Structure 1
C-alpha cells in the first residue's frame, strides 16, 4: 500500500562518453520533464506535498503541526495555558510576550514553509493536464492538491490574518520576486472565501474512503469538508467576524451527514489507533524515522524520560469532577488534599500526576525522594509543573533506547469529536441551545463517561459549556492556541501565571501547594496574530505589510 512518505531519487545519467566533470546531473532530484512524463512519478510528487503539511523542514528546523519537531521538541500546547516545554526550545519567549519579527521563536517557519508548499501545489495544478493518466485518477489528484493548498492557506490565515493570495500562479523565484502584486495582502473574508470554495471543489473530487489504493493519511471528502467547517467556524468567531454562525453550523452538519464517522468508544486509545472510525484526517509517524519517540521525549525522569511538554495546573483545574461539577463548586466533592480522585475520566487519559499508575508503578512527583521528582535520576529532566503528559503515550513502546522500533503513531488533524464541537458552538450562536446542540455535546460527554449537561441552559451558559468541553476534550491537540484567540479571551487566559503543583510527603501524607512553574507570562493585543518574520518583509523590499503592533 502506498503511503504518504515517498522520497524521489534518480540515477546519474551519462549523456556521452566525453566526461565533463563540471556538468553533473544531480542524483537527488528529478527534472520537471521526467515527472510530467511518468504518471507514477507525478502521483509521487503529489503525495510528497503532504510533507509540507506534516513534516519538519530540512535539517529538522521548524515546528510543523503534530508533536512538535519530530516528537522531540516543544509542542504547540507549550505556548498556551496547557503546558510548558521543560527546556524552553524557543517557546518561553512567546508565552512571555517577547514575540518580534526578528525573534519568532518556534513559530518562525510558518510563513515561508506554507508559501513554498502553495507554490509546489500550483506547479502540479498547472501541469497536471499534460500528464497521461485516466480522467478519474487525475480528478482525485486535483482534489488532493486543492485540499493541501487550502490546508496551507488555513495555517497562514489562522496565524497571520489576511494574507497574500497566490491563485494558481507559479512564481519564478529568480525573476518574479519583485512583482508588487506578490505582496498585497487580501482581507480575511476574501482569504477564507477562496479557501472554502477550493475545499468545495476538492470534496467533489476526493474519494469518501481511504482504501487499498487510497492510503491512510491521504485526504478524503470528509477531510475537505472538515477543514471547511473549521475555517467557517473561525470566520464567524469574534476575532474574525467575517462569516455567519449559520454557515459554520451548516458546514459542520455536512460532515455529520456523511454518516461515515463515529466517536471511538475508548478516548484514551483513540490517539494510538490510526484505524479509528473517529479519525477524519491524520498523519502517521513511523517510529524510528527522523524523530525521537514520544515516550522518551515526554516521559518522567524516573523512567529515563526527558519530561518535555509538562501540563500546567491551569489545565488540570479545568477537568470537572465525574459528577459534572466544577472543582470550584462546593457541592462537587472536590478534596484539595486528595485532588485527583473522581475527576473527569479524560483527565486520567491525558495527564500523569503524583500517584498515577504508569508502566508498573506509581508516578512519584513528591519530595523528598520521589523517583520522578528533582530527587530522582537525571534531575534536569524533572517536571517543573508536577505533572507529565499521558496523552499519545504508547506503553508498548520502550522509553529507554526507543529508536528504530517498528510501528505507526497517528497525529490526528481532524476527528469527529471536533466536528460535533464545531456544530454545537455554531448552532448555539446561530439559534440558541436547541436539542441538536445538547445532542452534539452530550455524545462527547457520554463517550468520556461524564453526565449530560443540565437542561435549561441559556445561550451564554451553553457558550461557556462548549468552551469548557473544547478545552478538555481537545487538550494538547493544537486547538487551544487558536481557540482562545478567535474567542478573544487570550488576554485573560494567557495573562494568568503558569501554575504547577509542589507535592511533598511527610509522615505518609501528601501535601499539595500551588506554585508558579514559569514566571513572566504576558499577552498583549498585538499577539492575537503572529508577526511576519522580518526576513520575509526584507525579501519583499519592505512592500509586504507587517501585522499591527510589530
Structure 2
C-alpha cells in the first residue's frame, strides 16, 4: 500500500501543470508554469503555492467528465438501467461491469481510481504541511486550508462509497522508507472522520464567493457533502446491511447493526443546507415549461449550484453526447427504462389510470424534463447543416442517427441519444461554446436527500413537499389540488418508490444512479434484467414503436456492491482486508 503515499514523489510537476477551464485573469484559478519542482521552491512563491492548490481543485472532475464514460472516472451510468455504452468491445469497462466479467480493463481502472484518490489526499497533506511557509496573507492561508481539507474529504467520500471503510492517513506525508502496516478503518470511523472534517471547515468557510474567488469551496458545499455522506451511511447497504460473512470484514463495509436514527441525522444535515437560505431551484415556466431545469445547467452562476467543476467556454456535453448529425461522439445511449420513468405532464406515471399515455405517440405530453434529458425520434435540436432547429430521426434506416445493432458502434442501439446539460443551440462541431460550469452538487440533490431521509424517518408528508417543489420547477401541471401529480396521502413504501424514481429522472447522467442502486441494496431487482430500448419503424409518414432488449442482461451480484481493494495494496500490507465477493 505504499503507493498511496508515494505517488506524489513524481507528482509536483504534474500538479503545477494542471489547468482547468473557467480561468479569469488574476483569479485564484490562474496557474503559472515552473521548472523548480520541489516543495521548498513551490511554497516559497505565492503564485506556485496557488498553482499547487489549483492542482488539487483540478481533480474534482473525477467521476463526472462525460469523455471518461469508457475510461477511469465515469463508466457507471452504462453499468445500470440508465444507459448503454457506445463501445461494444468486451475489454471496455462498462461492458465488464454489466457482464460481471471484471477483466483487465475494470481492474486497471479500479486500481488507478484508488491511486488517483489517495494521490489527491496526499496532495492536500503536502499543501497543509507547507502553506504556512508560503508568502500568503494570514487570511488567505487560513481560508485555503479549509478549502484543502474540504477537497480531502471530497476524495475520501469517493473512497467510502467505492470501497467502504479505508485507511485514514490523517495529515501524514509519509516518506519512501516509512513502512505502512495500518489496517483499514471501520466504515463508521471513516464516516465520522469525513463528517468531522466537513463540520470543522463549514464553521470557517464563507457562505458565498464572488468575483475572482468564484469557484472556491463554500460553507454550503461542506454541509451538502456532509448530507450526501450521511444519507449514504443511513441507507440499507451500509446501515447494518453488509454482505460480508467474515466477522472482521463486516465493520469495514457497514455499520454492524442497523439504526433508524441515522436517517434523522441525514435529514438534519440536508435541512442545514436548506436553512442557509443561499440556494433555490432555478425556475422558469414562463419561457416554456421546465425551462429552469434546462437553463440551470448552462448558467455558470445560478442559485442552484452548490459545488461546481469550473470550466471555461466549452462544448463538453455537446461534443460527447450528441448524435452524429449534430457533430457529437454519442458516447452513451439512454435506456427505455429511463424514458419510462418520466411521468406524464400531469404528473402521473404512464401506466397510471388517467395518465393519458398514448403508445402510438409515446413522447407527447410528458414531463418536460424528458425533452431536456433525452433525444428521441422526432425530438428537435439545432442542426448546423440547415442553421435551424430540426428533428432528429432515430427510426430504422434513418440517415446517420438511425438505430443500429448493439455491435455496430456507429449510432444509437437503444433508439435514444443523451442531451442532458446540452445547449440546444450548440452542436458538437460548431464554433459556438457554452459558458457552463458543471454542477457536482446542486440544490435539487439536497432536496431529494432531504425527502428520502424524511420519508425513512416517518415524515412522509414532509418528503412529498420536496417532490412537489421539484415537479413545479420541472413544468409539470399543478392540477386542481396544486400537488403536481403527487397524491395527498401515501404510504412510506409507495413514497419511497416515488422518491427513488424522482432521483432517477432529476439526477440522470449525473453519476448518481449506480451508487443509489448499491446503497438501496436493490441489485437483485436488476440482476439478469435486460436494458431496453425503442425500435421505431417508419411506414410512409407513420411510426410504430416496439420495445427491444439491448445486448446482455445486466449483472448485479454481491461483488457489485463494493469495489475490490487493489491486490497490490493487500500484498504490501497484510492488515488490509478484501471486500465481499472478491
Q: Is the contact between residue 159 and residue 166 of structure 2 (CA under 8 Å) also seen in structure 1? A: yes
Q: 1:100 deviation in Å?
A: 5.6
Q: Is the contact between residue 237 and residue 521 of structure 2 (CA under 8 Å) also seen in structure 1? A: yes
2:10 aligns to what?
A: none
1:425 aligns to what?
A: 452
1:489 aligns to 2:516 (yes or no): no
Structure 1 pair 375/424, CA: closer, same or farther in 2 (3 Å)? closer
2:413 aligns to what?
A: 384
Find the aligned partners of 2:105 and 2:403 in 1 and give their Cα distance: 35
Query: Which range moved further: 37-46 or 341-350?
Result: 37-46
Report the RMSD for the aligned CA atoms in angstroms: 2.4
Deviations 1:164-211 (A, max 9, x none): 111111122x212x3212xx1111111011000000111122111121
Structure 1 pair 386/407, CA: closer, same or farther in 2 (3 Å)? closer
Q: 1:238 deviation in Å?
A: 0.7
Structure 1 pair 72/38, CA: closer, same or farther in 2 (3 Å)? same
**Alignment partner of 1:385: what SS?**
coil
Structure 1 pair 375/126, CA: closer, same or farther in 2 (3 Å)? closer
Match of 1:352 among 375, 397, 407: 375
Query: Which range moved further: 258-267 or 512-521?
Result: 512-521
**Alignment partner of 1:514: what SS?**
strand
Matches within 5 A, 1:380-419: 380-400=409-429, 407-419=434-446
Q: Is the contact between residue 205 and residue 217 of structure 2 (CA under 8 Å) also seen in structure 1? A: yes
1:41 aligns to what?
A: 48
Structure 1 pair 228/76, CA: closer, same or farther in 2 (3 Å)? same
**Alignment partner of 1:117: what SS?**
helix
1:457 aligns to what?
A: 490
Deviations 1:211-267 (A, max 9, x none): 124222x21110000000000111111111146111111110110010010101110
Match of 2:359 among 328, 333, 336: 336
Structure 1 pair 375/460, CA: closer, same or farther in 2 (3 Å)? closer
Structure 1 pair 375/259, CA: closer, same or farther in 2 (3 Å)? closer
**Alignment partner of 1:53: what SS?**
coil
1:9 aligns to what?
A: 33
Query: Which range moved further: 152-161 or 78-87?
Result: 78-87
Structure 1 pair 431/541, CA: closer, same or farther in 2 (3 Å)? closer
| TM-score, structure 1 as length reference | 0.87
Structure 1 pair 420/130, CA: closer, same or farther in 2 (3 Å)? same
| TM-score, structure 2 as length reference | 0.83
Find the aligned partners of 2:105 and 2:341 in 1 and give their Cα distance: 35
1:175 aligns to what?
A: 177
Matches within 5 A, 1:246-325: 246-265=264-283, 266-287=292-313, 293-325=316-348
Structure 1 pair 33/406, CA: closer, same or farther in 2 (3 Å)? farther
**Alignment partner of 1:104: what SS?**
helix
Q: 1:465 deviation in Å?
A: 1.6
1:235 aligns to what?
A: 233
Structure 1 pair 324/386, CA: closer, same or farther in 2 (3 Å)? same
2:479 aligns to what?
A: none
Find the aligned partners of 1:463 and 1:313 in 2 and give their Cα distance: 22
Q: 1:127 deviation in Å?
A: 2.4
2:545 aligns to what?
A: 512
**Alignment partner of 1:516: what SS?**
strand
Q: Is the contact between residue 261 and residue 277 of structure 1 (CA under 8 Å) also seen in structure 2? A: yes
1:362 aligns to 2:363 (yes or no): no
**Alignment partner of 1:431: what SS?**
coil
Find the aligned partners of 1:375 and 1:104 in 2 and give their Cα distance: 30
Alignment gaps of 5+ in structure 2: 1-23, 240-254, 284-291, 383-388, 477-483
2:85 aligns to what?
A: 85
Q: 1:407 deviation in Å?
A: 5.0
Q: Is the contact between residue 101 and residue 533 of structure 1 (CA under 8 Å) also seen in structure 2? A: no
Find the aligned partners of 1:463 and 1:199 in 2 and give their Cα distance: 28
Match of 2:162 among 141, 146, 159: 159
Matches within 5 A, 1:103-252: 103-104=106-107, 106-172=109-175, 174-176=176-178, 178-181=179-182, 184-216=183-215, 218-241=216-239, 242=255, 244-252=262-270
2:581 aligns to what?
A: 549
Structure 1 pair 35/110, CA: closer, same or farther in 2 (3 Å)? same
Find the aligned partners of 1:75 and 1:408 in 2 and give their Cα distance: 25
Find the aligned partners of 2:531 and 2:358 in 1 and give their Cα distance: 22
Q: Is the contact between residue 318 and residue 426 of structure 2 (CA under 8 Å) also seen in structure 1? A: yes
Structure 1 pair 105/515, CA: closer, same or farther in 2 (3 Å)? farther
Structure 1 pair 7/104, CA: closer, same or farther in 2 (3 Å)? farther
Match of 1:31 among 3, 25, 38: 38
Find the aligned partners of 1:470 and 1:249 in 2 and give their Cα distance: 16
**Alignment partner of 1:317: what SS?**
helix
Q: 1:136 deviation in Å?
A: 2.2
Q: 1:518 deviation in Å?
A: 2.1
Structure 1 pair 3/531, CA: closer, same or farther in 2 (3 Å)? farther
Find the aligned partners of 1:474 and 1:211 in 2 and give their Cα distance: 27
Structure 1 pair 84/70, CA: closer, same or farther in 2 (3 Å)? closer
Q: 1:420 deviation in Å?
A: 0.8
Q: 1:71 deviation in Å?
A: 11
**Alignment partner of 2:341: what SS?**
coil
Query: Which range moved further: 420-429 or 80-89?
Result: 80-89
**Alignment partner of 2:54: what SS?**
helix
Find the aligned partners of 2:410 and 2:39 in 1 and give their Cα distance: 48
1:52 aligns to what?
A: 59
1:473 aligns to what?
A: 506
Alignment gaps of 5+ in structure 1: 11-26, 56-63
